[in-house]
Chains A and B, each alone.
Chain A
Amino acid sequence: GENVEQHPSTLSVQEGDSAVIKCTYSDSASNYFPWYKQELGKRPQLIIDIRSNVGEKKDQRIAVTLNKTAKHFSLHITETQPEDSAVYFCALLGGGYQKVTFGTGTKLQVIP
């Protein structure tokens, strides 16, 4: 099946700094790239997504960039706040039916 690698596995930043999480994939047919946030003990929730015909998408303090040539996409969080502390998962949807493959997650800690 599709493989997606996510780095780093843990990330600590000071409040107000930026955080960047990167994912790489191998299947060039992948066409949808969502990011999910999972707070401790809660369910994953979609925070932003991007499709293969777009290079960048922003929503307030979060943005996602996609480089289809290099087969990687990244989540950028600016002006981090303590409530951004959570596990973030990248994911992708391949060329087949609606099977989403998830990365292994990044635990982000924002230090006040």
Chain B
Amino acid sequence: NAGVTQTPKFQVLKTGQSMTLQCAQDMNHNSMYWYRQDPGMGLRLIYYSASEGTTDKGEVPNGYNVSRLNKREFSLRLESAAPSQTSVYFCASTLTGSNEQFFGPGTRLTVL
């Protein structure tokens, strides 16, 4: 099993550009999450999906949209990137009833 995978690993955008971060898991997990990690601020939840077909806002959803394409895939979209969105983005998944979060390798995004 590949576990949780994310693409791309690195990305540089200019202010105003758009892009989609991809996440996929092959562990048959029900719940998926997107976090951003900034120095000194830990991991903050952007959006999550409790199950296929549902999405909900987390702590810092402004400027982002998500799509739970199917049970395996959960994408994060930045419609108009801003320098404040420079961060490391982690996708994670959880099997219902387990609580343990499995993280992807992360995407380092820089917005100039």
Contact = CB atoms under 8 A, between A and B. Distances in A.
Interface of A: 1, 6, 9, 32, 34, 36, 42-46, 49, 89, 93, 97-105
A44 B43 contact: yes
A54 to B, nearest CB: 14
A49 B31 CA distance: 19
Contacts of A1: 59
Given A43-B103, A46-B101, A9 B40 contact: yes
Nearest to B31: A98
B100 A46 contact: yes
Contacts of A43: 90, 103-106
Which residue, of A32, A49, A89, A102, has the highest number of chain B Cβ atoms within 10 A?
A102
A100 B45 contact: yes
A44 B103 contact: yes
A98 B95 CA distance: 10
A45 B94 contact: no
Q: What 10 A-B pairs come out closest when comparing CB atoms?
A: A43-B103, A104-B42, A102-B43, A102-B42, A46-B100, A105-B42, A32-B99, A44-B103, A98-B31, A43-B105
B2 interface: no
Interface of B: 31, 33, 35, 40-45, 48, 50, 56, 58-59, 90, 94, 96, 99-101, 103-106
B99 A93 contact: yes
B50 A97 contact: yes
B99 A102 contact: no
Given A43-B103, A43-B104, A93-B99, A99 B44 contact: no
A13 B43 CA distance: 25
Contacts of B90: 43-44
Contacts of A32: 99
28 contacts: A9-B40, A32-B99, A34-B101, A36-B101, A43-B105, A44-B43, A44-B90, A44-B101, A44-B103, A89-B42, A93-B99, A97-B50, A97-B56, A98-B31, A98-B48, A98-B94, A98-B99, A99-B45, A99-B48, A100-B45, A100-B101, A102-B35, A102-B42, A103-B42, A104-B40, A104-B41, A104-B42, A105-B40
